[in-house]
Amino acid sequence: MRLPPKIDPAATAASAGASTPEPEPVPVLVLGASGRIGQVLRQTCAAAADRSDLLWRWQARRAPQNKPQNATETETGAEDWHLLDPLAMPDALAQAARGTRAILCLAGPVPGGRAGATAEPELLRQHSTLALATLEAAARAAEQTGHPPHVFLASSAAVYGAATGLLREDQPLMPLSPYGRAKAEMEQAALARAAELGLPLTQLRIGNIAGLDAILGGWRPGFCLDRFPTGLSPQRSYIGAARLAEVLIWLLRTGARADGDTPQSALPQVLNIAQPGPVEMAALLRAADLPYDTRPAPTGALPEVALDVSRLIGLLAPKATSAPPPWAKPALPQADPAELVAEARALQLLPAR
């Protein structure tokens, strides 16, 4: 397998003068591409289509409204859609995975929808069944090519639940919500099955995504925030939507182009995804100029969920090598409410007042 390429328009100083040949494009598959994260990921990829080194395959159950007519995969990385039900059509899913070197599963019920506190158990179980279906398709792809694709599964910070302090990937999980418990069960089942199949796996515990969250994205007139005895509203780990897309692209490239110099084992099995530092929800709404009320926080409400992202920062940190790769790693600056809001506004993710 080969090296990962550039993700950022700005080349690093080390690579600017390098004469490294462009790597041959490799296929990657994204399940759940019509969802909220998938839409931002597709938008980010489209903006970089002129320098794409990956052949993007997108899966959805039905065609998105903004899907190009007669879109096909080309040598420049144009969109290739696979419209199928991954649970009901395992053969079609395996065909979509054929030849891929990395697979990202974003599919699954979202916590703001029917996967909330009153979600049906069978709906929540889809997180595990979708993850296992993804792994089975990856295993079938590996049988055909001899190269097991690196599988990435979207998990959530909700798996930490009642745990306190800076939340590390290796600590015990204490999920509180049905969604958090479903994601924790998915992680456990997927880890065991990936080991049986001999597949490289990374589970992504994603923090709040500015503009796709219940605060900025879910704001409505009369919006109310919990207020704790400290006078603060809830604090959470956040990441900008476009920055998340850049991180996902970099991870897919790294998994797809792993070789002796950048082995897939360098990617951990569990990875927190957020920008450093928790953000107060009230600060986000003030930065977005969205009015809100407050109410006393109920018993059991979590004042803070702060992800330890040192593992991710370590992956993205510059490393001195004799032959630096011809791509730039995405930046991961301290989370700033004004910058998160500006990023969400540029993507038109903020609600109209």
pLDDT for 251 equals 95
How far is the C-alpha of 139 from the C-alpha of 59, rounded, in Å?
18
The percent of residues in the chain predicted with pLDDT above 90, rounded, is 69
Lowest mean pLDDT among 20-34, 145-159, 175-189, 327-341: 20-34
Total domain count, the chain: 1
In this prediction, residues 1-22 reach a mean pLDDT of 42
Q: pLDDT tens for residues 232-257?
A: 999 999 999 999 999 999 999 999 98
pLDDT for 321 equals 59
Cβ partners under 8 Å of residue 1, min gap 6: 101, 147, 256, 257, 258, 259, 264
The size of the chain, in residues, is 353
Looking at the domain assignment, is residue 17 inside a domain? yes
Asked if pLDDT for residue 226 goes beyond 60, the answer is yes
Asked if pLDDT for residue 21 goes beyond 80, the answer is no
Asked if pLDDT for residue 188 goes beyond 90, the answer is yes
pLDDT for 260 equals 45
Element (H, E) at 273: strand 270-273
Looking at the domain assignment, is residue 30 inside a domain? yes
pLDDT for 246 equals 95
Looking at the domain assignment, is residue 123 inside a domain? yes
Whole-angstrom CA distances from 291 to 73, 215, 262, 285 are 45, 11, 48, 7
Looking at the domain assignment, is residue 112 inside a domain? yes
Residue 88 dihedral angles phi and psi, to the nearest 5°: -90, -15
Lowest mean pLDDT among 31-45, 87-101, 105-119, 121-135: 105-119
Smallest CA-to-CA distance from 316 within 274, 269, 256 is with: 274
Q: pLDDT tens for residues 123-174?
A: 899 999 999 999 999 999 999 888 999 999 999 999 999 999 999 999 999 9
Q: Are the CB atoms for 267 and 221 separated by under 8 Å?
A: no
Smallest CA-to-CA distance from 214 within 6, 11, 36 is with: 36
Looking at the domain assignment, is residue 86 inside a domain? yes
Q: pLDDT tens for residues 34-80?
A: 999 999 999 998 887 555 688 999 999 988 766 544 444 333 344 69
pLDDT for 4 equals 36
Tell me what the pLDDT averaged over the chain comes to: 86
Structural domain harbouring 251: 13-209+240-274+307-332
Q: Are the CB atoms for 65 and 38 separated by under 8 Å?
A: no
pLDDT for 119 equals 62
Asked if pLDDT for residue 351 goes beyond 90, the answer is no
Q: What is the band of 122 on the pLDDT scale with cuts at 50, 70, 90?
A: confident
Looking at the domain assignment, is residue 77 inside a domain? yes
pLDDT for 102 equals 97
Q: What CATH number is given to the structural domain containing 263?
A: 3.40.50.720
Residue-by-residue DSSP string for 67-132: PPTT----TT---EEEE--TTT-HHHHHHHHTT-SEEEE--S--TTTTTSTT--HHHHTHHHHHHH
Looking at the domain assignment, is residue 233 inside a domain? no
pLDDT for 233 equals 97
Looking at the domain assignment, is residue 78 inside a domain? yes
Asked if pLDDT for residue 3 goes beyond 70, the answer is no
How far is the C-alpha of 222 from the C-alpha of 351, rounded, in Å?
13
